[in-house]
Structure 1
Amino acid sequence: MNEQQQPPQSDKVWSIELHGIEPIADNERHGTAFELFWVWFAANIGILGIVYGGILATSGLNLWQSILVALIAPAASFALVGVLSIAGKWGGAPTLTLSRAPFGTRGNLGPTLISWISLVGWETISVITAAYALLGLLNLVGLPSNVFWTIVSLIIIAVLVVVIGLLGHATLVWIQQAATWIFGALTLVVVVFLLARTNWSAVLAAQPGPWDTGVLATLSIIIAGTGIGWANAGADYARYLPHKVKGSSIVGWTVFGSTLPLFVLILTGRLLASHLSNLASAENPVLAIGSALPSWMAIPYLITAIGGLVAGADLSIYSSGLNLLAIGLKIERYKTVIIDGVLMIAGAIYVMLIAQNFFTPFESFLQLLADGLTAWSAIFLIDMLKRRSYNIAGLTDTSARSSYFYIAGINRAALIAWLLGILAGLAFTVSPWFSGPFAIGIFATSSLGYLIGFLVSALIYWLLFVWGAKGQSSADQQSSSYELPREVTL
């Protein structure tokens, strides 16, 4: 099969994608692993990366510690995204549809619901930030920042996100490539001007911060806010790739495409915080960053902010729609995007007009959802280690005939491991909304709870599988015309 096969009629640019969560057939596979570079680069050029840099400064990290965190956090977290994306090539289905294999057709409902909430939350955060940027742009032409224009800004951004999400996979990949070139270049220009405002004497004279409450704490926060938030969506963008595409290429382009922009933006935020002390806690981070730029840069800066944030929100709303289908909603894929768009607007209105606070809900959202997502990803990863294929019919059949129905539709080994991992993570988690009973000492400041949950879920699921609570249906071993070829390397 030609790795660069032309896209099928069901996945054409500027046409509504016809596929939902059903696995992609061999004759409709197309593209190369390199397209994942565009997908993940554009998804991570949003202005929130600069806010992460402000968090590093607030936590007392010096320049070299900040460089370390800015490199390790996105690279490590997106390595997980890349590895889990390989399952998309194996099974040709979205991530949370493939998750039926380890969890069972009914047991998978819990992880899918958590995943859906996470994605809707992320798209809402991106839309809120982009709406703030558009509101700032409207201010430049003399319009006020009142309730009316705030809602108008929200609706404009939301409609843009929903329209692109409606069209689907091929259009998203095209948009992400264009966004990488256009908004990547504009972001670079903005970064140069921001760096010109750096107080270099203060930055270079800064003493090292604490490694437990500083480096570990920020490392865990940024990991949760970057790759962990996308782990449940990676296979969604790899499922059209031909079987012969190397897994190592999928991981490599995913990590490189995401880490490059995040490293630059996080480090820029750290340097910018040398004279913009409220960067991490600003109610409106877009305007806070813009205040450090010359006035003539305001328009290109705000356009850049909007473009980068919309590029990330597009992916979130597309994947959240696929999650609704995986939950069992019996409608066309594009209609799920409209449902999520309505919820996204409602959430954004609450944060911008009622709660009127950005950082506190943002931090709590990241920390609490990370516990559920990392525990799920640990089980999904262990399941991948013992398979190289999926029973295609079993993924789409949710009846008792499904090879992934297990006992009453639930693989108890996976469900137990997931729930115990969440409980372990929450027990060591501290957030503005919740603090676990064991979140003391280093855990009170390091936000390491979700990593503990990951290890607990992985260990328990592996032990239950080894000891006889089998986590794989016998149907996985049966040959089928739909079965994918066995692959010996990632």
Structure 2
Amino acid sequence: MSEARTGTEHFVDASTQPETRGIEVISDSERHGRARDLFFVWAAPGVSILNFTIGATLILLGLEIWQAFAVIVVASLLWVFPGLIAGSGPAAGTSGSVVTRAMYGIIGNKLFVAFVGWFIGAVFLSLTWLASSFMGADLLRRIGLDDPVWVPIGVTIVVSAITILVAIFGHGLILRIYPVMAIVLFAIFVLVSAFILPTVNWQYTAPEPLGGVPLWSALSIGFTILASTPLSFINSPDIARYLPRSTKPSHIAAATAFGGAIPFVVFTAVGVLLATGLKASAFDAGIDVALFDLLPGWLGPLLVIGVVVNTIALNAMTTYTSSMALQAIGFRLKRIPAAIIVGLVGTALTIYLVLSSSLLEAANLMLQFLVIVSGPAMAIYAVDVIQRRYVYDSVDLFDTGRGGRYWFTGGWSIPGIVALLLGGLVTALCLSTDVWTGPIGQALGHVDLSVPAGMTVSAAVYALLSRTRLGKEGRL
């Protein structure tokens, strides 16, 4: 049986009306845009207070300034992966959550998208809404609204409602407003950074300078936290899928990677510098509170606006792509109701986190665990696009019957499933967090090799098995 979602209806990808298209294939006559348009689409979500928070974490781990900068630069190289896989969107003309049927099989992909798509989506929805909730609540507290429960919940609901609205209007609105958002956000965060710089302790040295195994432990844990951001954007094909089929994958990769990496490097580095001028008590109060205390009264509200705008930029994209993941799983939903459902789930999780944690604790813990699924999944996707050279047949991807090309073995692609499970297992064994350290991580003295080990195993297993009879594609 075929789903027959091959773009026979005419859709208008405009910023002025809700986008009704979901995972339906985009015909060549409806393709538009240029690869460079993707730069600002990815830059807007990257200008984030979460980067400040992660940068400050590197100092808390005991690193010197130059060591923290080195980790940031190395981790930024991982942005090549979202760039590399983004080209599969225009090649197939559909969502990445459909393209992955070529990696996991028709049935296997349903479970993959349900777990990976929803897990990653929920984590990032909640984390970024959490940042705006804390900072919005802190601003309101300073003007007299200090209810510790209902104020942050109210901020969360308002911001999530706007976010869902942007996701409902979809791709056309994202392309139109994200360049403006990126420029506004960059200006606000550069201004904030200008007030942070005078507080920087340029002679900063760690209270207890690290060396040997403890140093490598701190470097590797910091790398894992940083790596989780680029590796989570397995949705990059969804944003690129409207581009003309003739668009060069190298151009798509460059625009996506540089759009994400530049703000990632700049503002995570500023977070490192911010931490050098803070006392230990400031970390206990929270990075968001510490930032407010450093800024003049007129700039604090402007920063909150920047955080809210950034939250909307990142979460609207996440909600948008997660709505298509719901369709790819098999739920018979139009994209707009699916987006509303995704948004409501993310809002509920955010409210739970608002009431149970701090931004720093939530960010660090969830980002580290995220790589268990995101690293192996990204590695498999990258190997697949390289092996296929961006050749994906839209008709075959939507042929979900037993005789379809991507039915594989009973609806499961053994190479993809085995590679994902083994890579996730190795990642977990090598992980080192405050609540879980795998046996390999313990044996190495808490040196965290989870990202390189898990991705290497997944990539190698998938590359090898997909060339055997287990990876054979065909029809009955």
**TM more than 0.5:** yes
Give a deviation string over 1:177-235, Cα, whole Å, max 9, x none.
111111111111111111121122336999676651232321222011x20111x1110
Tell whether the 8 Å contact from 1:62 to 1:209 is kept in structure 2 after alignment.
no
- Check if 1:393 corresponds to 2:387: no
Give the aligned residue type for 1:309.
T
1:31 is paired with a residue whose SS is coil
Match of 1:187 among 189, 194, 197: 189
- In structure 2, distance between residues paired with 1:395 and 1:282: 50
Which residue of 2 is the match for residue 100 of structure 1?
Answer: 101
Contact 1:61 1:209 in 2 (8 A): no
What is aligned with 2:469?
Answer: 468
What TM-score do you get using the length of structure 1 for normalisation?
0.89
Point out the more displaced range, 362-371 or 85-94. Answer: 362-371
1:184 alignment partner AA: F
Q: Which residue of 1 aligns with 2:152?
A: 150
Alpha-carbon distance between aligned partners in 2 of 1:392 and 1:135, rounded to the nearest angstrom = 47
Partner Cα distance (2:430, 2:210) in 1: 26
Within 2, Cα distance between the matches of 1:416 and 1:370?
Answer: 17
Consecutive unaligned residues of structure 1, counting only runs of 5 or more, are 1-7, 476-490
- Counterpart of 2:384 in structure 1 is 383
How far residue 250 of structure 1 moved from its aligned partner, in angstroms, is 1.2
Gaps of 5+ in 2: 1-9
What's the secondary structure of 1:386's corresponding residue?
Answer: helix
Is the CA contact (8 Å cut-off) linking 2:133 and 2:354 kept in structure 1? no
- Over 3 Å counting, the alpha-carbon distance change for 1:282 and 1:84 in structure 2 is farther
Q: Does structure 2 retain, via aligned residues, the 8 Å contact 1:122–1:313? A: yes
User: In the TM superposition, what is the alpha-carbon distance from 1:450 to its structure 2 partner?
Assistant: 3.3
**What is the alpha-carbon distance in structure 2 between the residues aligned to residue 98 and residue 357 of structure 1?**
37
| Distance change >3 Å, CA 204–CA 185, structure 1 → 2 | farther
> Residue 62 of structure 2: SS of its match in structure 1?
coil
In 1, the alpha carbon distance for the partners of 2:457 and 2:81 equals 17
Task: Give the deviation of 1:302 after TM superposition.
Answer: 1.6
Question: In angstroms, what is the RMSD of aligned CA positions?
Answer: 2.2
| Residues 15 and 116 (structure 1), Cα distance of their counterparts in 2 relative to 1, 3 Å cut | same
Task: Classify 1:199/1:435 alpha carbon distance in 2 versus 1 (closer, same or farther; 3 Å).
Answer: closer
Look up the match of 1:215: 219
Deviation at residue 440 of structure 1 after TM alignment? 1.8
**What is the identity, as a one-letter code, of the residue corresponding to 1:221?**
I
Contact persistence 1:99–1:108 (CA under 8 A): yes
> Are the aligned partners of 1:421 and 1:454 in contact in 2 as well (CA < 8 Å)?
yes
Residue aligning to 2:441: 439
- 1:303-342 matched pairs, under 5 angstroms: 303-342=305-344
- Once residues 282 and 232 of structure 2 are traced to their aligned partners in structure 1, the CA distance between those partners, rounded to angstroms, is 19
- The verdict on how the C-alpha distance between 1:309 and 1:209 changes in structure 2, with shifts beyond 3 A counting, is farther
Whole-Å Cα distance in 1 between the matches of residues 328 and 370 of structure 2? 19
Aligned to 1:455: 456
Distance across 2 between alignment mates of 1:426 and 1:207: 28
Letter in 1 for 2:99: L
**Contact 2:63 2:206 survives alignment (8 Å):** no
Against the structure 1 CA distance between its residues 290 and 103, is the aligned structure 2 distance closer, same or farther, given a 3 Å change threshold? same
User: How far apart are 1:402 and its partner, in Å?
Assistant: 2.5
Residues 61/433 of structure 1: CA separation in 2 closer, same or farther (3 Å cut): closer
2-side partners of 1:142 and 1:302: how far apart?
16
- Offset, 1:454: 1.2
State the shift of 1:414 in Å: 1.5
**1:273–1:279 contact (8 Å) kept in structure 2:** no
Q: Is the 8 A contact 1:130 1:310 kept in 2?
A: no
Give the structure 1 partner of residue 3 of structure 2: none
Paired residues in the alignment total: 462
1:334, distance to aligned residue in structure 2 (A): 0.9
Kept in 1, the 8 Å contact 2:59–2:272? The answer is yes
* Greater Cα shift, 341-350 or 274-283: 274-283
The one-letter amino acid of 1:227's match is P
Taking a change above 3 Å as real, the CA distance of residues 403 and 467 of structure 1, as seen in their structure-2 partners, is closer
The residue that corresponds to 1:370 in the other structure is: 371
> What is the letter of the counterpart of residue 243 of structure 2?
L
Matched, 1:227 2:230: yes
1:57 is matched with which residue? 59
Q: Against the structure 1 CA distance between its residues 66 and 464, is the aligned structure 2 distance closer, same or farther, given a 3 Å change threshold?
A: same
Sort the Cα spacing of 1:29 and 1:291 in 2 relative to 1 into closer, same or farther, 3 A.
Answer: same
Q: How does 1:103-122 map onto structure 2 within 5 Å? A: 103-113=104-114, 114-122=116-124
In 2 relative to 1, CA 65–321 (structure 1 residues): closer, same or farther, beyond 3 Å?
A: same
Q: Retained in 2: the 8 A contact 1:54–1:279?
A: no
Q: Which amino acid aligns with 1:229?
A: S
Q: 1:292: which partner in 2?
A: 294
**Which of 236, 239, 245 matches 1:237?**
239
Q: Match for 1:400: what amino acid?
A: R
Paired residue type of 2:350: A
CA displacement at 1:282 relative to structure 2: 4.7
* SS of alignment partner, residue 204 of structure 2: helix
Cα gap change, 1:200 to 1:469, in 2 (>3 Å):
same
Partners of 2:51 and 2:268 within 8 A in 1 = yes
* Contact 1:279–1:288 under 8 Å retained in 2: no
Preserved CA contact (<8 Å) 1:51 1:279? no
**Of 423, 426, 443, which residue of structure 2 is paired with 1:424?**
426
